[in-house]
Amino acid sequence: MASYDDLSPLAQMHEDCTRTRATLERHLDRAAARPAPSILFADYPREVKKRDIEVGEAAQRIANALSLHLD
């Protein structure tokens, strides 16, 4: 679908708006029918492993040049 210029017919723009509204209403109806996510602490894992962060050679050189000293 292309963007409109000033010469687009009013009927065409109205039809596009009507279709867009219908599509959005369908999406909203589906979203409203889904259950809300849980906020209970028990529903989430207690132990989450942290990712290892590796400092590459280039990052090490930049940090040293900026006196950040990453070890």
Q: What is the pLDDT of residues 2-50, one digit of tens each?
A: 565 667 788 988 999 999 999 999 999 999 999 988 888 888 877 777 8
pLDDT at 33: 93
Tokens of 10: 């009013």
- 29 inside domain: yes
- 61 inside domain: no
pLDDT at 42: 84
d(CA 40, CA 47): 15
- 22 inside domain: yes
Q: Where are the alpha helices (DSSP H) in the chain?
A: 10-33, 57-65
CB within 8 Å of 47: residues ≥ 6 apart: none
User: What's the total number of domains in the chain?
Assistant: 1
- 56 inside domain: no
Q: What range defines the domain where residue 19 resides?
A: 11-36
- 21 inside domain: yes
pLDDT at 27: 94
- 55 inside domain: no
Whether the model clears a pTM of 0.75, i.e. scores above it, the answer is: no
